[in-house]
């Protein structure tokens, strides 16, 4: 499922969707939300200005659709198109029940349609993992190296299970467990059990206990991604409450803003 919006990230996430569709012989479900909320009529102001604005939005959306459909046709992949009024996050959440992955762009000032909070809503409520494409990324090298961030949590296990079909395409899976000084009783499922699960699905991996060296976990994970040459990062989202992450900071929130490689997340 691909988020459609006329912003700086559209070309990159479109190419990522095409890469996955070609690799998996898949189908791209394009979701375009106009962002028009129900009108509250002011009897003294009239509707002409509002109607003209809505017509302009719909005309722009049609131009975007024609351009993207031409690109999809040239790429030789299967797709369909669904248009909605209202907020993009709500449309993506509602339509995600039969999706394998939802593709959006990393939040930035140039991607006004989905803010950091909107992507947070999507991560918590969507029925599929969410692939967040960073700015400047124009492809997904699914056959390269992949880092699976492991902390023993239910979220990490859920992300691993949902993303396992795509990880089968990878050259090498690196299961990275950042040493964060938690006692053994609080570390959840051991990384070795994650490796055994992957092996039963025909996916070989390498285990890494990554030293934090006093850094935040997000910084240690980004260091692992760089050192291991990973093409994308898989992890569980919001192991702590979103309120705590918003107030105190958290791994999910920090990586959503800073990851230089595509980020595959599941809650």
Specify the number of domains making up the chain.
2
Domain that residue 11 falls in: 2-133
Q: What is the dihedral of CA 14, 17, 22, 25, to 10 degrees?
A: -140
- Note whether 213 and 124 are same-domain residues: no
Coil, strand or helix: which one is 142?
Answer: coil
Report if residue 140 sits inside a domain.
Answer: no
Helix H or strand E segment including 197: helix 191-200
- Render pLDDT for 30-56 as a digit per residue (tens, 0 to 9): 999 986 555 444 555 555 555 555 556
pTM value is: 0.88
- Is 69 among the domain residues? yes
Is the pLDDT reported for residue 25 higher than 50? yes
Q: pLDDT tens digit string along 10-22?
A: 999 999 999 999 9
pLDDT at 76: 96
- If asked whether residues 80 and 10 sit together in one domain, one would say yes
Please indicate, yes or no, if residue 245 is contained in any of the structural domains.
no
Give the whole-angstrom CA distance, residue 12 versus residue 137.
6
Same domain, 20 and 127: yes
| Contact of 107 with 256, CB cutoff 8 Å | yes
Per-residue pLDDT reduced to its tens digit, 95-141: 999 999 999 999 887 655 789 889 999 999 999 999 999 999 999 99
46 and 164, same domain (yes or no): no
Q: What is the mean pLDDT of residues 149-172?
A: 94
Rounded to the nearest integer, the mean pLDDT of the chain is 88
Task: Provide CB contacts within 8 A for 150, sequence distance 6+.
Answer: 156, 160, 175, 176, 177, 191, 194
The CA-atom distances, in angstroms, between 56 and each of 34, 50, 62 are 11, 10, 10
163: its two tokens: 């993303």
Cβ atoms of 105 and 132 closer than 8 Å? yes
Pair (168, 191) in one structural domain: yes
Ranking 107-111, 169-173, 198-202 by mean pLDDT, the lowest is: 107-111
Are 103 and 178 within one domain?
no
Residue 243: pLDDT over 50: yes
Residue 259 belongs to a domain: no
169-181: average pLDDT: 92
Cα dihedral 220→226→230→231 (10° resolution): 110
Whether 117 and 212 map to the same domain: the answer is no
Q: Is residue 52 part of a domain?
A: yes
């Amino acid at each position: 499922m691909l988020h459609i919006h006329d912003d700086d990230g559209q070309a990159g996430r479109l190419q990522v969707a095409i890469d996955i569709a070609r690799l998996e012989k898949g189908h791209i479900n394009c979701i375009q939300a106009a962002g028009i909320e129900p009108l509250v009529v002011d009897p003294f102001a009239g509707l002409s200005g509002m109607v003209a604005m809505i017509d302009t939005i719909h005309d722009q959306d049609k131009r975007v659709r024609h351009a993207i459909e031409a690109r999809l046709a040239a790429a030789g992949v299967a797709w369909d198109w669904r248009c909605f009024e209202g907020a993009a996050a709500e449309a993506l959440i509602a339509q995600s029940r039969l999706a394998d992955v939802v593709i959006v762009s990393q939040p930035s000032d140039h991607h006004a349609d989905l803010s950091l909070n909107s992507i947070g809503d999507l991560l918590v409520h969507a029925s599929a993992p969410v692939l967040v494409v960073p700015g400047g990324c124009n492809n997904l090298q699914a056959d390269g190296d992949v880092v699976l961030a492991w902390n023993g949590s239910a979220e990490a296990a859920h992300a691993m299970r949902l993303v396992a079909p795509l990880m089968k395409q990878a050259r090498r899976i690196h299961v990275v467990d950042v040493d964060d000084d938690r006692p053994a009783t609080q570390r959840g499922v051991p990384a070795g059990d994650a490796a055994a699960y992957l092996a039963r699905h025909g996916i070989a991996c390498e285990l890494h206990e990554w030293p934090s060296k006093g850094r935040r976990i997000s910084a240690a994970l980004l260091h692992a991604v760089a050192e291991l040459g990973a093409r994308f990062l898989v992890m569980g989202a919001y192991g702590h409450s979103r309120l705590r992450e918003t107030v105190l900071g958290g791994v999910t929130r920090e990586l959503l803003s800073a990851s230089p490689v595509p980020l595959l997340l599941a809650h």
